[in-house]
């Protein structure tokens, strides 16, 4: 599976607004580039990124070829309770990656 | 001795002039060819169409949104972007979606993001590709159905997307 880098605070106070960062290794081939043989290199990108907090969707992004290689997102959410934050990426050629992070809320 | 050297000076100059004109014509044809095979780029018009596809006929006002990009970009391959929207992010007043568009990449869309009231703060960051110096626009859709925007002009010295391998 593609390598990922997730940044979620391990602990938070209830109601605190926390920043979440997620990075995944991916070429994000645009489909607009031409190889040395003159053929267009087919598009191969991540098209969707979803983040779920204890099953509830908190962030969703639709990606286009204009997103850089190794897509990175940083966003905020309210720490509502202890549990699992799941990150899911899906894209061209059946690409799918999923990572989970734990958070303790007191 | 070659043929050329025995020609009188006026004939000689005429021949080089003919060659020169032929070369100019060849260069001209070459240029127009290279322009015609260039991949289609998103124009401000196609960007407007892409925006209409996403937001429909709603009117977009300036303000509330803060789009941040470096004014001068060295490499268009990874340009940091942050979009922050001025919103209380409560159940009755929150940012539903944020869309980013560009003028001159091969495609006008950059990213579309869905948020909800539990985000707490309507702010996000990512990294994008820019194929040329151009204007980037961020549009936010609020829970009351209004649309707000901000745009930034960026100068790119080394573009992305279109390079060959």
Q: Does one domain contain both B132 and B153?
A: yes
Chain A interface test: which of B103, B120, B141 (most A C-beta within 10 Å):
B120
Q: Does one domain contain both B71 and B137?
A: yes
Q: In this predicted structure, what is the pLDDT of residue B21?
A: 72
Any idea what the Cα angle at residue B13 is, between residues B7 and B14, rounded to 5°? 90
Q: Does one domain contain both B132 and B51?
A: yes
Q: Tell me, what's the ipTM? A: 0.91
Q: Does one domain contain both B96 and B27?
A: no
Q: In this predicted structure, what is the pLDDT of residue B37?
A: 47
Q: Is A58 on the interface with B (CB under 8 A)?
A: yes
The reply to whether residue B124 touches residue A73, judged by beta carbons under 8 angstroms, is yes
The reply to whether residue A67 touches residue B110, judged by beta carbons under 8 angstroms, is yes
In a domain, B51, yes or no: yes
In a domain, B98, yes or no: yes
In a domain, A35, yes or no: no
**Cα first-last separation, chain B:** 48
Q: Does one domain contain both B105 and B24?
A: no
The tally of domains found in chain B comes to 2
- Nearest CB to A68; choose among B105, B125, B127: B127
In a domain, B164, yes or no: no
CATH assignment at residue A56:
2.60.40.10
Q: In this predicted structure, what is the pLDDT of residue B16?
A: 73
In a domain, A20, yes or no: yes
In a domain, A36, yes or no: no
Instruction: Identify the domain containing residue A60 by its residue range.
Output: 4-29+41-105
| pLDDT band for position B58 (cuts 50, 70, 90) | confident
**Nearest C-alpha neighbor of B120 from the set A47, A67, A53:** A53
Q: Does one domain contain both B66 and B143?
A: yes
Instruction: Identify the domain containing residue B8 by its residue range.
Output: 3-36
In a domain, B163, yes or no: no
- The rounded mean pLDDT for chain B is 83
Residue of A nearest to B84 (CA): A75
In a domain, B20, yes or no: yes
The reply to whether residue B105 touches residue A66, judged by beta carbons under 8 angstroms, is yes
pLDDT digits (tens, 9 = 90+) for B4-52: 555 555 555 566 777 777 777 766 655 554 444 445 567 788 898 999 9
In a domain, B165, yes or no: no
Q: Does one domain contain both B20 and B99?
A: no
Chain B interface test: which of A12, A23, A66 (most B C-beta within 10 Å):
A66
The tally of domains found in chain A comes to 1
CATH assignment at residue B154:
2.60.40.2470
In a domain, A51, yes or no: yes
| pLDDT band for position A1 (cuts 50, 70, 90) | confident
Percent of chain B at pLDDT > 70 equals 78
Are the CB atoms for B125 and B81 separated by under 8 Å? yes
In a domain, A34, yes or no: no
In a domain, A70, yes or no: yes
Residue of A nearest to B126 (CA): A73
**Nearest C-alpha neighbor of A80 from the set A103, A61, A98:** A103
Q: Does one domain contain both B76 and B131?
A: yes
Q: Is B143 on the interface with A (CB under 8 A)?
A: no
The reply to whether residue A68 touches residue B114, judged by beta carbons under 8 angstroms, is no
Q: Does one domain contain both B63 and B117?
A: yes
Query: Cβ contacts (< 8 Å) between B161 and chain A: which residues?
Result: 30, 32-33, 65-66
| H/E stretch holding B16 | helix B9-36
Q: Does one domain contain both B30 and B49?
A: no
In a domain, A62, yes or no: yes
Residue of B nearest to A46 (CA): B111
Q: Does one domain contain both B19 and B72?
A: no
Question: How would you label A72-104 residue by residue, b for 16+ Cβ within 10 Å and e otherwise?
Answer: bbbbbbbbbeebebbbebebeeebebebebebe
In a domain, A53, yes or no: yes
- Nearest CB to A78; choose among B109, B110, B120: B120
């Amino acid at each position: 599976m593609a390598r990922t880098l997730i940044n979620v605070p391990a602990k938070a106070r209830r109601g605190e607004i926390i920043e979440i960062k997620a990075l995944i290794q991916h070429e994000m081939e645009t489909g607009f580039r031409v190889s040395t043989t003159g053929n267009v290199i087919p598009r191969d990108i991540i098209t969707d990124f979803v983040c779920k907090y204890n099953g509830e969707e908190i962030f969703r992004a639709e990606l286009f070829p204009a997103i850089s290689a190794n897509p990175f997102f940083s966003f905020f959410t309210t720490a509502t309770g202890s549990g699992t934050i799941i990150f899911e990426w899906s894209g061209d050629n059946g690409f799918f990656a999923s990572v989970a992070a734990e958070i303790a809320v007191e | 001795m070659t043929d050329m050297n025995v020609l009188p000076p006026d004939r000689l100059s005429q021949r080089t002039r003919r060659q020169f004109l032929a070369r100019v014509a060849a260069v001209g044809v070459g240029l127009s060819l290279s322009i015609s095979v260039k991949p289609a780029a998103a124009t401000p018009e196609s960007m407007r169409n892409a925006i209409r596809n996403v937001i429909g006929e709603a009117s977009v006002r300036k303000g509330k949104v803060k789009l941040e990009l470096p004014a001068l970009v060295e490499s268009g391959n990874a340009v940091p972007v942050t979009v922050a929207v001025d919103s209380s992010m409560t159940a009755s007043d929150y940012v539903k979606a944020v869309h980013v568009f560009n003028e001159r990449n091969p495609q006008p869309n950059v990213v579309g993001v869905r948020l909800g009231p539990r985000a707490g703060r309507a702010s996000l960051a990512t990294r994008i590709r820019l194929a040329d110096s151009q204007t980037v626009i961020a549009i936010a859709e609020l829970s009351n159905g209004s649309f707000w925007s901000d745009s930034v002009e960026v100068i790119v010295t080394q573009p992305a997307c279109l390079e060959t391998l």
